[in-house]
Amino acid sequence: MAGLTVLLGSNYGIPLSTTHCKVGAVVAVSLIHNRNAVSWRTFGNIAWAWIVTLPVSGAISAFFYWLIIKLL
């Protein structure tokens, strides 16, 4: 399922994260087979990590940029 999503997205020129596709595929298949098989706590942690990654990596990059500018 994840492979199909990546292939379709690539054909339409949509930038996709394979990690997002794989997690989405695992959750979708688990929902189809057994709703109770999905660990919503784990999925919530993964979703939270996706949300936090961009601002945290931006802040770290800004800090190192500032540090390099100050040292030069």
pLDDT for 7: 87
Residue % of the chain over a pLDDT of 90: 35
Give the pLDDT confidence of 42-70 residue by residue, as tens digits: 889 988 998 999 999 999 999 999 999 99
- What pTM was computed for the model? 0.63
Question: How high is the mean pLDDT of the chain?
Answer: 89
**C-alpha closest to that of 42 among 27, 52, 57:** 27
CA 22 – CA 2 distance, rounded (Å): 5
Domain coordinates in residue numbering, the chain: 2-71
> In this model, does residue 1 exceed pLDDT 80?
no
pLDDT for 22: 85
Contact 43, 13 (CB under 8 A): no
